[in-house]
Amino acid sequence: MSRGQGPTTTGRAVLFALPAVFPVVAVLGVSLAAAVLQSLGLMPFIGPPSFSVEAWTGNTGELVRATGLSLNIAATATVLSVCIGFLIAAYVLASPRMGWIVGALSAATIPIPHLIGAGAIGLLLSDSGFLERVLGMPAAFPALVGGPWWIAAITEYAWKESAFVALVVLGSIARSVGDLCDAAATLGATARQRVFRVVLPLAMPSLAVSALIVFVYTLGSYEPVWLLGPTSPEPLPVRAVRLFGSVDLTARPEAMASALVSVAVGAGVILIGILVVRRSREFR
């Protein structure tokens, strides 16, 4: 985001963006409005509409628990993805030859759908999965899939999203970072110092942005937590989809409430994130 633009330039920029932004805003607005109406019982599948906040207040405890759980999973997955993603990027930069392979592997994981990824992680980490067979420790093998710590689900996110983070970081700094690392080396910086004192600060903006994206994505993502998590407690998206798919049509307002909480939390995090990123730029 460039600062110091006059109001006319900004106005023109907005005007140019309109054709692209309008359909998005329209679709988003309409579906959010519909979700709000449904959550308030004003748009029922059957029967007459009748206003009710039951979907929001009826089971607040579970809604709050689901929100907390979702935030926890998303935060852990984001921290892991960002750390691992950065290390992958640093490795690719540091050793061009092997790094090329790592980079290609990372790029290859990105188009794999999360559903498939989750299935693969399930086969790998479940009680009678590949890892358990390789290690041959049936009794001592920890409950990674469906266990209380969501390890398999978080691993799936960390695996796929770290590849995403690595590619974003590489894309944003690969051009300049080689020369700057050379300069740092001639100034006495060791390989480690180059990674943490040059590459890391340079990668910071793209790390921050990709962290935001990963956080919001994992917050709203459904398949891995559904496939790899325990039956209870439920994160927001699983709760929303379960209620939406319930044969009981009256559960839909609750489904919409869950979905809306997820949207609201995601939007809030994006806002805070943008503010923080802006701030840190201004302080420079």
Partner 1 sequence: MPRLPAPVSPRRRAALYTAASALALLLTSCSGATVGQVKSFESFDEVRAEAEGQTVDLWMYGGDEQGNAYVDDVLAPAAREQGVILRRVPVADTQDAVNRVLSERQAGRDDGSVDLVWVNGANFSTGRQAEVWRCGWTDLLPNMEYTDREDPLILSDFGTPVDGCEAPWHKAQFTFFYDSEAIADPPTSLAGILEWATANPGRFTYPAPPDFTGSVFLREVLLSAAGGADQVPLEYSEEAFDEHAPAALQALSEVAPSLWREGSTYPRDEQALNTLFANDEVDIAMTYGPATLTDLVAAGALPESTKVLTLDEGTVGNASFLAIPANAADAAGAMIVANIALSPEQQAAKADPAIWGQFAVLDTELLTPAQQDQFELLPESPIVPDYAELSRNAHGELAADWVPALSEAWRQDVASDR
Partner 2 sequence: MSSSLEFIGTSRSFGEATVLHEVSLIVEPSRCVALLGGSGSGKSTLLRIAAGLDDPSSGQVLVDGGDLDGVPSEKRGIALVFQKPLIFPHLNVVDNVAFSARMAGQSRQAARRHAMAYLELVHLADFAGRSAGRLSGGQEQRVALARALARNPRILLLDEPFSSLDSRLRENMYSLVEDIRSELAPTIVLVTHDRREASILADSIAVLDDGRILQHGPVAQLHYQPATLAVNRILGGLNAISGQVDGGIHHSVLGRVRVQPGMVDGPAFLVMRQEAVRILPAGEGTAVGNVAGLKSLGAHTLVRTEVAGNDGLPETLTVEVSGDPGVSVGQMIGLQPVNGSGWAVIR
Residue 210 beta carbon to partner 2: minimum distance, rounded to whole angstroms:
17
> Considering only residues 209, 251, 270, 274, which one is a binding residue for partner 1 as defined by CB under 8 A?
251
Q: Please give the structure tokens belonging to residue 242.
A: 């379960």
Tell me: does residue 223 bind partner 1 (CB under 8 A).
Answer: yes
Q: Which of 54, 67, 85, 30 is nearest to 268 (CA)?
A: 67
Q: Is 38 in the site for partner 1 (CB under 8 A)?
A: yes
Query: Does the protein bind partner 2 through residue 182 (CB under 8 A)?
Result: yes
Closest to 92 in 3D by CA, of 110, 109, 104: 104
Least distance in Å: CB of 182 to partner 2?
Answer: 5
Binding to partner 2 by residue 94, rule CB under 8 A?
Answer: no
Q: Cβ of residue 52: shortest distance to partner 1, in angstroms?
A: 17
**72 binds partner 1 per the rule CB under 8 A:** no
**Which runs of consecutive H residues, i.e. helices, occur in 110-199?**
114-125, 130-135, 151-186, 191-193
By the rule CB under 8 A, 246 interacts with partner 1: yes
Whether omega for the bond prior to residue 233 falls within 30 degrees of 0, making it cis, is yes
Q: Of 79-87, 156-164, 181-189, 233-241, which part binds partner 1 (CB under 8 A)?
A: 233-241
What is the C-alpha separation between 37 and 17, in angstroms, rounded?
A: 29
Residue (18 or 34) nearer to partner 1, CB: 34
Greatest extent of the chain over all pairs of C-alpha atoms, in Å: 76
Q: Which does 230 bind (CB under 5 to 8 A by kind): partner 1, partner 2, none?
A: partner 1
Considering beta carbons, is residue 55 or 181 the nearer one to partner 2?
181
Rounded (5°) CA angle 96-101-103: 80
Q: Which stretch binds partner 2 (CB under 8 A): 25-33, 38-46, 182-190, 256-264?
A: 182-190
Question: At closest approach, how far in Å is the CB of 179 from partner 2?
Answer: 5
Q: Output 177-185 pairs: Cβ under 8 A, ≥24 positions apart.
A: 177/93, 177/202, 178/93, 181/93
Question: In the complex, what is the shortest distance from the CB of residue 233 to partner 1, in angstroms, rounded to a whole number?
Answer: 6
Please classify residue 44 by burial: count the beta carbons closer than 10 Å to its beta carbon, then call 0-12 exposed, 13-18 middle and 19+ buried.
middle
Task: Name the binder of 240 from partner 2, partner 1, none, CB < 5-8 A by kind.
Answer: partner 1
- Decide: is 179 part of the binding site for partner 2 (CB under 8 A): yes
Q: Among residues 103, 86, 265, 238, which one has the least CA distance to residue 158?
A: 86
Distance CA 266, CA 270 (A): 6
Alpha helix stretches (DSSP H) within 40-143 = 54-57, 60-94, 96-109, 114-125, 130-135
**Alpha carbon distance 269, 215 (integer Å):** 8
For partner 1, the binding residues in 253-282 under the rule CB under 8 A are 255-256, 259, 262
Which tokens belong to 137?
A: 């420790």
Q: How far is the CB of 211 from partner 2 (least distance, A)?
A: 17
Binding site for partner 2 (CB under 8 A): 176, 179-180, 182-191, 193, 197-198, 201-202, 204, 284
State the residues that interact with partner 1 by CB under 8 A: 27, 30-35, 37-38, 43, 45-46, 127-128, 143, 146-148, 220, 222-223, 226-227, 230-233, 237, 240-242, 244-249, 251, 255-256, 259, 262
